Amino acid sequence: MYDEKVLKCFLDNQLQLYPEPVAHTLEEAEDFLEECLAVVVNSVDEVLEFFEEEGIDVEGIDDDSILEADEVFDVGDGRYLIVEG
């Protein structure tokens, strides 16, 4: 479900969401993301859509602000990983 680029992104940036590492290998990262039901979306609009579906008020929030949320990881290829902490 999560490709290597997504897993590496999470491993490299997990401290933006957690105070200490929760995974040390790609396999641990995949297991953790599966357990958290993390999702990968293809655009900023889909990030906003996800938050709206989760019942989070995003009215008036601009794209840059939503991407600064700790739960949002920029994979670097136009995709975003969203991990609910």
**Domain map (residue ranges) of the chain:** 4-82
Q: Residue 59 has what pLDDT?
A: 86
* pLDDT, tens digit only, all 85 positions of the chain: 899 999 999 999 999 999 999 999 999 999 999 999 999 999 999 999 999 999 988 888 888 889 999 999 999 999 999 998 6
In sequence order, which residues have a C-beta less than 8 Å from that of residue 26 and are 6 or more positions away? 4, 7, 8, 11
Q: Which helix (H) or strand (E) holds 69?
A: none
Q: What is the C-alpha separation between 76 and 57, in angstroms, rounded?
A: 26
Burial letters 29-41, b for 16+ CB under 10 A, else e: bbebbeeeebbbb
User: Structure pTM?
Assistant: 0.93
Query: Which has the closest alpha carbon to 11: 27, 1, 48?
Result: 27
